[in-house]
Amino acid sequence: MALLTVENLRTTFRTDDGPVGAVDGVSLSVDAGKVLGIVGESGCGKSAMSLSIMGLLPKTATVEGSIRLGERELIGLSGSELRRLRGDDMAMIFQDPMTSLNPVMRIGEQLIEAVRLHQKVSKVEARQRAVAGLAAVGIPSPEDRMRSYPLELSGGMRQRVMIAMALLNRPRLLIADEPTTALDVTTQAQILELMRDLRSEVDAAIVLITHDLGVVAELCDEVAVMYAGRIVERATVDELFAHPQHPYTWGLLASLPGRNLASERLHQIPGTPPSLLRPPAGCRFAPRCPFAMDVCRADPAPALTSTGRGSAAVACHLTQDVRDREGARLSGEEQA
Ligand code: SF4
């Protein structure tokens, strides 16, 4: 059974210029022990979606639809109920560790407090768990590091501390929002390796938010591609790389480093994502899509429909033959 089930989620922000629909009818699910990657450019709604799940949105936002953790509906829970769930049942890793760490408190005090907030254990026991947590994420001399302040650590070490803090209470759901984006390439690789190791030990459902399909390939079982607030393609990672179906996914794949594609029309995604204040009718990718047809620019937008290959689904008016042909051409060029 799915641990996290999101159905028809709509997250809208009130602004002076009007409502901004950051998430527009997203449905997805993740099983325990699995990693779902949510991939897309900045502003596509992936972070708004993760904050909706965690109940961390500002008061200017409204959330509609359904978000269930196991059997429990999260939309409509009070602030105190959500606070209890965060840290107990679900935790989040942010791009910037300083979002979660208090700069004027020693690492050890913060970790001990995080344990005791959610578990009835003695201070000695909480301390032991905190030291073990730091050791588990590869922090050398964890006893000594307990006395450090966050700013005394490198960016990679701070990220490890945040991961340790997120895992302290063995959450059932872990959301990692661009966990490696702010790090240099070497540290990025170390943190990805750490998360790969942890995923087999922590039997949690993990949602990994990223703009980088390379990170998805490293860590995820399934992937949902988001564009302008909607999911446009969903598949297992193997299926997505073998048979990519959506023109936007083709553009993301083509822009992965190290890919030299002969086909110019797949090489780059021209233009920028639309404003979510006044998004275009029909398929929101149409203004940038080299395959756009008249039908694409009119409502209703193409619905997410099964491709016939396992759980894979795509929202695009192109016929399956054309999608298979263009996707195969992209895969063929990658292998050439
Ligand atoms: Fe391109 Fe049309 Fe498919 Fe949208 S529906 S991705 S515009 S072909």
Look up the CATH number of the domain holding residue 31: 3.40.50.300
Which structural domain range is residue 294 located in?
A: 225-335
Distance 197 CA to ligand 1 centre (A): 38
pLDDT at 299: 95
Does 118 share its domain with 257?
Answer: no
pLDDT band at 207 (very low <50, low <70, confident <90, very high): very high
317, 319, 324, 325: residue to mutate for ligand 1 pocket, most atoms within 8 A of CB: 317
Does 51 share its domain with 183?
Answer: yes
Does 119 share its domain with 233?
Answer: no
Q: Are 67 and 170 in contact (CB under 8 A)?
A: no
Does 88 share its domain with 200?
Answer: yes
Out of 124-133, 197-206, 298-307, which region has the weakest mean confidence (pLDDT)? 197-206
> What's the CA gap between 12 and 21, in Å, rounded?
4
Asked if residue 264 has pLDDT above 60, the reply is: no
Does 207 share its domain with 274?
Answer: no
Asked if residue 38 has pLDDT above 50, the reply is: yes
pLDDT band at 134 (very low <50, low <70, confident <90, very high): very high
pLDDT, mean of residues 285-308: 96
Does 198 share its domain with 236?
Answer: no
The residue from 220, 237, 268 where one domain ends is 220
Does 118 share its domain with 158?
Answer: yes
Does 247 share its domain with 126?
Answer: no
Rg for the chain, CA atoms, rounded: 21
**Which ligand 1 atom lies nearest to the CA of residue 297?**
7
Q: Are 217 and 253 in contact (CB under 8 A)?
A: no
Q: In the structure encoding, which two tokens stand for residue 227, read together?
A: 């564009």
Q: Which tens digit of pLDDT belongs to each residue from 172-185?
A: 999 999 888 878 88
Give the number of other Cβ atoms within 10 Å of residue 200's Cβ: 8
Distance 296 CA to ligand 1 centre (A): 6
The residue from 186, 220, 254 where one domain ends is 220
HSE-CB for 4 with a 13 A CA cutoff:
29
Does 38 share its domain with 177?
Answer: yes
232, 252, 294, 296: residue to mutate for ligand 1 pocket, most atoms within 8 A of CB: 296
- Amino acid sitting at position 1: M
pLDDT at 193: 83
**Residue position matching structure tokens 């998805």:** 216
Average pLDDT, the chain: 90
Asked if residue 69 has pLDDT above 90, the reply is: yes
pLDDT at 265: 46
Does 115 share its domain with 249?
Answer: no
Sheet holding 173-177, edge to edge: 90-93, 173-177, 205-210, 35-39, 222-227, 230-236, 313-314, 305-306
Q: In the structure encoding, which two tokens stand for residue 36, read together?
A: 């779902």
- Residue 43's region, left for phi above 0, alpha for psi from -120 to 50, else beta, is left
Q: Identify the residues whose C-beta falls under 6 Å from ligand 1.
A: 246-247, 283, 285-286, 289, 291-293, 296, 302, 316-318
266, 316, 326: residue to mutate for ligand 1 pocket, most atoms within 8 A of CB: 316
